[in-house]
Structure 1
Amino acid sequence: MSSTPLLSASSQEVEDSSGSHVASIKRDLFISHFLSTWNSRVFELGAVLYLASIFPGSLLPVSVYALARSSFAIFLSPVIGRHIDVANRLQVVRFSIVAQRLVISVSCVIFWLLYNEPPITRNATLGLLALLACIEKLCAIANLVAVERDWVVVIAGEDTQALRGLNSQMRRIDLTCKLAGPLFISLIEGVSTEKAILVTLAMNVASLPVEYYTIKRVYDTVPGLQRTTISGASSPSQGGWWQQLSTAVSTSFQDLDTYIHHRAFMPSFAGSLLYLTVLSFSGQMVTYLLSVGWTSAHIGIARTASVAFEISATWLAPEVMSRIGPIRAGIWFVSWQMTCLGLGAAVFWNAESRGMSAGGLVCGTILSRVGLWGFDLSTQVIVQEEVEATRRGSFSSMESSWQNAFELCSYAMTMVFFRPAQFRWPVLRNIFANEKETGKEFMGADAARLAMQKAEQTVRVYAWRKNNAPPIVVEFQDKFTWPHFVLNDDVLVDLELAPAKAIQLYRPSLGLWVKIKTGHVLDVNDNIPVLVKSMDVTACIDFSRHMETVLEAVKSPELRDAFRVKLRNEVNKNHTTLLEQMFMNSQIAMGMDTRKPLAKLPLSSHEPSPPLRPPPPPLIKAVDLLTEFYYKSRLSAPTDKFDKSSM
C-alpha cells in the first residue's frame, strides 16, 4: 500500500497542484466501475426477463439457470479470492472486464436466436446459457472484490477520510446502477424483448474499450497498485495441473477453516443467510409476478421503489448504529424485516384475488428492504472492523461463497415448487425460518459481545480492613455503570468495610491517602485498580507490590505519557506553590516511586463527582432493559468470538 495518500492534501498549495491529478484518478475509476456495475445489473435482470419470455409459464428454466450460476460461484469464489491476493492487479481486473463483456455478448446472441428461431434442442441451449452465466458471475465477483476491497484501499493510502469518501462514492454508484439499470431494461423489455436483447448486446460491446483503458490509466497513475500484494507471488506455480488443483483445493479448505473460526464469522454468516429467500425481486419472484399478470414495467417500478427504500436505510442505519451499536442495530433491522414480510405474507395467503395477494406481497417486500439494507450495513461495519487487512480478500470471497450457497438453495426450492400456484410454500419458509435463523446468529453474536464486554469492564479493588493484614481483592462486573464506579454501601459491604461513613482512597498523583465519603464516584476509563482502606488502618501489608499493578495498567508508552500528563494536571490543581509542583512533577517523570510517601497536604474530604451522561430516551431504555434481561438468562462463560474492539 502506498504510504502517501493520493486523495488528500496537507496544504492549500499541494491541493491546488494535485487537484487535476486526483480528479483524473477518481474520474477514471468511477467510469470503469459504473460501466462494469451497470452492465452487470442490466444483464442480471435482463437474462431473467428473456428466459421468462422464451419459456413462459414455468419457473424451472430460470431456476436451473440461476442454480448453475450460484454453484460455480460457491466452489470457485475462494480460488478467485486467493488469485486476487497474489496476481498482478491490472491483469486480474482487465481479464474480468474482457471475459465478462464477451460472455454477456455471446449470451445475448443465444437469447436472440432462442427468441426468434427456437431450436429443437432447447435444453442443450439452456445448458450453454447456464455455463456462460457461471463465467459471467465469476468475472463479476473478481471485479467487485479486486476494485472495491483492494484498489480503493491502495488508492486512498493511509488517509482514512479519503478511504471513507471513496467507499461512499463507490456505494453510491452501486445503488444508482441497482436502481436505474433494472428499470431501464425492464421498460425496454416491456416494449419488445428482442430490442432489449439487442440493447444489452450493444451496451456491452461499446463499454469494453472504455473500461479497458480507464482502468489502465488508474493503474499507471497510482504507483502502489503496481506493487505485488504478497512477496514472491509472481513466481510461476510448480508441478503439473493435478498438483496445482490439489493446492487450490487445500487452500480453499484452509480459507474455509479460517473463516469459520474467525471472530467475525457469526455476523458475516448471519448476513449470508438472508440470501436464502425468494422475496427479493430476483428471478423467482419476477417470474411469479409475470405469471399472475404483472408487466415488465410494473415490475421495474416496484423494484425502483424497493431500491429507494434501501437507499433510505443508508441514512437511517448509521444513526441507529451510533446509538445502540452495530450488533443490536442488526437485530432491530432484521426484526423490522420479519414484521414487514410477515404482514405481506398474511395478505398473500388470505387475499381472494391473485392481484391483491401479489400486491400485498410486493408491498411487504418493499417495506422490508429498509430492514434488509440496515442489517447488511450493520454486518458490514462489524466485518470491516474485525477482519485483518491481509485476510480481506479470502474472507470476502468465502463470504461470497456462502451467499451464493444460500441463493442456490432458494432456487432449489422453486425447482421443487416450480408452478406459480406453489410459490406460497417458499414464501412461507422464508417468513418463519430464514429471519429466525438470522436473528439467532445475531443474538449469539450479541451474547458473545455482552459476555466479553462484561469481562473487559471489570474493576479490581484492593481493600485493607485491618493493620498488618493482607488486603481483600474484589472484582466488580456489575453494580456500576461503565465508566463510573461508585463506592456506595453495597460495594463497601462486598469489601467488608461497611458500615462506614468514610474511607480512604489512594491517589497515585498525590502519593497519599485521601479521605472520601460513601457515594464517591470514580472514573475507571483507564482500567486502573482501585486501592482503598479503612480509616483506622495505618500499616498496609504488600502495599508497594499492589501499587505496581496500578502503573502496569498503563501498558503502552503513549498511554503512559498521557497518564502522566493527566497526573501533572491534577498535581498543578492540588499543589499551590511552585516548589510543590516541581517536586511532584519530578516524581512523575522518574516513574513516580510511590513506595515513599510524599508530603501530606490538606485536601478536601470529598471531591466533586464527574457529571453523568444524560439518560437515554424511554423507548431505548426499555429495550435495553429487556435485552439485558434476555441475555443475562443465557450467558454462561465469556467467549472469544468477539473482543471489545468489535464494537
Structure 2
Amino acid sequence: MPNDVEEEAPENTIEIEEIPLVTNDALRVVDNGDPSTQNDEVETEDVTVSLRTLYLAQLLSTWGDQCSIYTTALAFTYIFSETWLPGVLFTLMGQLTNFLLGSTVGSWVDRSPRLSGPHKSSPITTISPTLVIRASLIGQNSAVVAVSIFQYLLFQYRDTFPPWHEWHFSLTYVGLLIAGCTSALFSMSRDIAVSRDWLVVVAQDRNTLTSANAVMKRINLVSKVAAPVGISVLLEYVGASQTVLILAAWNAISVIPEYLLLSIVYDREPKLAERQVDEKKKRQNPIVSLYQGWKTYSKQLVLGSSISYILLFMNGATPGSLTNSYLRFRGVDVLAIGIFQGIGAVVGLGATFATPSSIRRFGLAKTALAGIWLQHLLVLIAILSFWAQSLCREGQSVCLDATIYSFQLFIVLSRLGLWSFDICHVQIMQEGVDKENIGVVSGVEYSLTNLAFTVILAAGTVFNEPSTYIYVLGISYAAILTAGIVHTLWFYHKSKEALTERC
C-alpha cells in the first residue's frame, strides 16, 4: 500500500512554478519605463545643471571684463581732456602683449590641470605647479584691481595733457601699463580654458555644444551692451574717480563666487580631470614657444577657417569707435548712433538664436560659409551706400541723410553674418583641433586677431579725416572678401577631413 501511494503521488502533485519577487526597483522600472532612458535623463539633467553653472560664471567674468574695458577707456578722457594718447598706448600695449605671448599662454593652458589637480573621482594623477583657472581668475582680477588703483592715482594729474616729464607720473603710468598687460594675458588664458576646453567636456555631444556656444556668445553680447549702460550711470552720478574704485571693489569680490561656480562644475564633471599632463614637456622661453606654437598652428586642418576668422578682425566697418567718429564728423546725432548701436546688439542676439537651428539643419561648415558671405554682401551694400554720397548734389540734405542712414543700417545688419560665423568657427576649432593642442592653437589665433585689430586701428589713425575714411572701408572690405575666399577654399578642400565627416 505505501508503495502504491508512492507511485501515484507524482500524478496527483500540483507543481508550483517559482515566481520571482518583485522588488521596489522593478516596480519603478514598470512605472517609469526603461532604466537606460532614466539614466539618459539623469545625465541630461546633470549636463544642464553644469552648463547653467558655467553660464553664470561666464556672466560674472564677461561683465567684469566689459566694465573694465569701458571704464578704463572713459577714465582717460576724464583725466586728460585734450589727448587720447595715454588711452591709445594702454590699448596698444595690451594688444601687443597678447600678440607676442599668445602661444606661450596657450601652451601653459595645454600642459596644466584644469583646476586644482586630480579630481576626487578620477584615478588619473595630474600634478602641475601651474593651475589654469585658479591662476587666471586670481591673476586677472588682481590685475584689474591694480589697473583701477593706478588709474585712480592718475586723477591727481588731471589736466589737458599728461606731465610726461614728472617721474612719479611716469612711474604710475608704467605700473598701469604692466597691470593692463597682465590682465589681458590672464583674460586670454581664462577664455581659452573655459570656452575652448571646459565647455566641450561639459556639453558632451555636438548638439548640446552648439547650443552652449550660442548661449556663451549671447552672454558676451548682453554684457557688451549692458555694462556700458551701468558704468555710464555710475559716471553720471558718482563721478569717474569713484567709479574706478567701485570697479576695483567689484573685481576683488567677484573672483570668489566665480571660482566657486567653476569649482562646482569641476566637481560635477569627473571628465574634466581626465587630462594627462606631460610633466616631461619642456618649458620653453617665450621666443621658442612662439615659434613652436606657430608651427603647430600652421599644421592644423582648421587653418583656413582660422585665417578667415582672423581677417574679420581687420574690419573698420563696424558699429565701433572708427565708424562712430566718422558719423559724428558728418553731424549724425548721438541718439541716432545709439539707436543703431542698439539695433546692432539685437541683430547679434538674433544670430545666437538662429545659428544653432541652422547648424542642425544644414551642418556646421555650410552655416559658417553662409554666415561669412552674408556679412560680405551686407558690408558691400553699406560701402556702396557710403560711396553714393558722392552722387548727391550739393544742398541735397535728403539724399545725404538717406545714404548715411543706409550705410549705418547695413553695417549693423552685417553683424548677423559676423556673429553667425563667429559661433560656427568656435565650434569648428573645438571639434577640429585635438585636445592636446587646443590651448596653443587658440593662443596663436588670439595673437593674430590682436594683430589684425591693431592693423585696422593703425589704419584709422593714419586715415583720420572724414574724407579719407573711405580708405579704412576699402581695407575692411578687402579683408572680408579675402576671408570669404579663404573660407570657401577651406570648405571645399579641408572641412570634411577637419571635422571628421560631421559637417
TM normalised by structure 2 equals 0.74
1:86 deviates by: 0.9
Counterpart in 1 of 2:149? 109
1:152 counterpart = 2:232: no
1:12 deviates by: 5.9
Counterpart in 2 of 1:388? 434
Q: Provide the rounded CA distance (Å) in 2 between the counterparts of 1:60 and 1:289.
A: 22
Per-residue CA distance 1:203-253 (angstroms, 9 max, x = gap): 2122122122222232233222234x33433x6x77xxxxx544x533432
Counterpart in 2 of 1:501? none
Shift of the 345–305 alpha-carbon distance from structure 1 to 2, 3 Å rule, reads farther
1:82 deviates by: 0.9
1:336 counterpart = 2:374: no
Counterpart in 2 of 1:645? 501
1:92 deviates by: 0.8
Matched residues, percent identical? 22
> 1:73 pairs with 98, 101, 107, which one?
98
1:220 counterpart = 2:220: no
Tell whether the 8 Å contact from 1:274 to 1:435 is kept in structure 2 after alignment.
no
What does 1:75-90 correspond to in 2, within 5 Å?
Answer: 75-90=100-115
Aligned-pair RMSD on alpha carbons? 3.9
Per-residue CA distance 1:71-120 (angstroms, 9 max, x = gap): 00111111111111111211211111111111111212222333354374
1:433 counterpart = 2:475: yes
Point out the more displaced range, 68-77 or 101-110: 101-110
Larger-gyration structure (1/2): 1
1:373 counterpart = 2:419: yes
Between structures 1 and 2, the one with greater helix share: 2
Q: Provide the rounded CA distance (Å) in 1 between the counterparts of 2:135 and 2:107.
A: 16
Counterpart in 2 of 1:307? 345
What does 1:474-493 correspond to in 2, within 5 Å?
Answer: none
What does 1:82-481 correspond to in 2, within 5 Å?
Answer: 82-90=107-115, 91-118=131-158, 120=163, 121=166, 125-157=172-204, 159-191=205-237, 192-227=239-274, 229-233=275-279, 244-246=283-285, 248-282=286-320, 302-317=340-355, 322=361, 326-344=368-386, 362-380=408-426, 382-417=428-463, 422=465, 425=468, 427-447=469-489, 449-450=491-492
Tell whether the 8 Å contact from 1:108 to 1:201 is kept in structure 2 after alignment.
yes
Letter of the aligned partner of 1:368 in structure 2? S
Shift of the 51–304 alpha-carbon distance from structure 1 to 2, 3 Å rule, reads farther
Point out the more displaced range, 275-284 or 143-152: 275-284
Per-residue CA distance 1:127-174 (angstroms, 9 max, x = gap): 4333222111111111111011111222234x4444344333333322
Shift of the 335–257 alpha-carbon distance from structure 1 to 2, 3 Å rule, reads farther
Q: Provide the rounded CA distance (Å) in 2 between the counterparts of 1:452 and 1:144.
A: 27
Per-residue CA distance 1:463-520 (angstroms, 9 max, x = gap): xxxxxxxxxxxxxxxxxxxxxxxxxxxxxxxxxxxxxxxxxxxxxxxxxxxxxxxxxx
Shift of the 261–369 alpha-carbon distance from structure 1 to 2, 3 Å rule, reads same
TM normalised by structure 1 equals 0.59
Q: Provide the rounded CA distance (Å) in 1 between the counterparts of 2:242 and 2:389.
A: 36
Shift of the 440–16 alpha-carbon distance from structure 1 to 2, 3 Å rule, reads closer
Point out the more displaced range, 118-127 or 135-144: 118-127
Between structures 1 and 2, the one with greater strand share: 1
Tell whether the 8 Å contact from 1:154 to 1:224 is kept in structure 2 after alignment.
yes
Query: SS where residue 188 of structure 2 aligns?
Result: helix
Equivalent pairs counted in the alignment come to: 438
Q: Provide the rounded CA distance (Å) in 2 between the counterparts of 1:411 and 1:253.
A: 26
1:27 deviates by: 4.6
Shift of the 302–56 alpha-carbon distance from structure 1 to 2, 3 Å rule, reads farther
1:452 deviates by: 7.8
Shift of the 104–34 alpha-carbon distance from structure 1 to 2, 3 Å rule, reads same
Q: Provide the rounded CA distance (Å) in 2 between the counterparts of 1:153 and 1:439.
A: 31
Structure 2 regions of 5+ residues with no counterpart? Answer: 1-33, 116-130
Q: Provide the rounded CA distance (Å) in 1 between the counterparts of 2:46 and 2:302.
A: 38
Counterpart in 1 of 2:63? 38
Q: Provide the rounded CA distance (Å) in 2 between the counterparts of 1:161 and 1:642.
A: 18
Tell whether the 8 Å contact from 2:53 to 2:261 is kept in structure 1 after alignment.
yes
Q: Provide the rounded CA distance (Å) in 2 between the counterparts of 1:362 and 1:219.
A: 44
Q: Provide the rounded CA distance (Å) in 1 between the counterparts of 2:52 and 2:42.
A: 17
Point out the more displaced range, 64-73 or 279-288: 279-288
Letter of the aligned partner of 1:86 in structure 2? R
Structure 1 regions of 5+ residues with no counterpart? Answer: 1-8, 239-243, 457-640
